[in-house]
Structure 1
Amino acid sequence: MCQHQPPCPTADSADRESARLVAHHPEQGWSLLCNGVVLFEDTGELLPDGQIIAPHRPLDTSRVMTAA
Structure 2
Amino acid sequence: MCHHEPHCPPAYASDREAARPVAFRPEQGWTLLCNGVVLFDDTGELLPDGRAIAPHRPPLPRAARRSLLVTAA
Q: TM-score range by the shorter chain?
A: 0.7 to 0.9
Give the structure with the larger helix fraction.
Answer: 2
- Higher relative CO (Cα under 8 Å, sequence separation at least 6) belongs to 2
CA offsets 1:6-33 (integer angstroms, 9 cap, x no match): 1000000000000000000111100000
User: What amino acid maps onto 1:36 in structure 2?
Assistant: G
User: Could you tell me which residue of structure 2 aligns to residue 6 of structure 1?
Assistant: 6
Give the 4+ runs in structure 1 shifted more than 6 A.
none
Aligned-residue RMSD, C-alpha: 0.7
1:34 aligns with 2:34: yes
Matched residue count:
58
Bigger Rg, which one: 1
List runs of 5+ in structure 1 lacking aligned partners. 59-68
For residues 43-58 of structure 1, the aligned pairs below 5 Å read 43-58=43-58
- SS of residue in 2 equivalent to 1:9: coil
User: What amino acid maps onto 1:54 in structure 2?
Assistant: A
Using the aligned pairs only, state the percent identity: 74
Q: TM-score, normalised by structure 1?
A: 0.82
Q: TM-score, normalised by structure 2?
A: 0.77
